[in-house]
Amino acid sequence: MSSRFIITLFLCAIATLSGCDGGTSSSTDVDASKTEVIALKELGEMYALLVKQTQKPPEAGKELMKFAEGFSHGSMAIQNKTVGVYWGAPIEKTGEAVLAYEAKAPEAGGLVLLSDGETVKPMTAEEFQAAPKAHGKLEEPGKPNAKKGKAR
């Protein structure tokens, strides 16, 4: 084998092992995405837990704060208003309506929590706009006063 061939193989191996795949996502993007998934999943768990205990859905985020210690990401998302939530909406076994969503979802797409209280999935802005919304009062991200959500 020629030394040029061996050097080429060696450089290719190093490039492959170093992760030079031309991708654009950084570890910060991935970490932020994981945090949002956890926050929405925890919000859904707290929501469903309260429904199970009281036989009615929460009308506001403060009702879920009794679970804050066990669901730090979800409770922080509620407190910091980084998610929109349709308060008072029922949990549905086959829920396909949006129950909660990350702040950027309506404009740029993002993660949503469906009304089954468990499913978190990404939606484009167009998918979000077209998706059915849970029957409840919408508290938009960053806005403390809930307003009546237009259910679809």
Question: If you compute the radius of gyration of the chain from its CA atoms, what whole number of angstroms results?
Answer: 21
What tens digit of pLDDT does each residue of 134-146 get? 999 999 998 655 5
What is the reported pTM? Answer: 0.76
Domain ranges across the chain: 28-144
What the block records as the tokens of 30 is 């991935």
DSSP state of 19: T
Question: In the predicted model, is pLDDT for residue 21 greater than 90?
Answer: no
The answer for residues whose C-beta is within 8 angstroms of residue 37's C-beta and 6 or more apart is 111, 120
Do the beta carbons of residue 138 and residue 147 sit within 8 Å? yes
Query: Is-contact 95 86, C-beta < 8 A?
Result: no
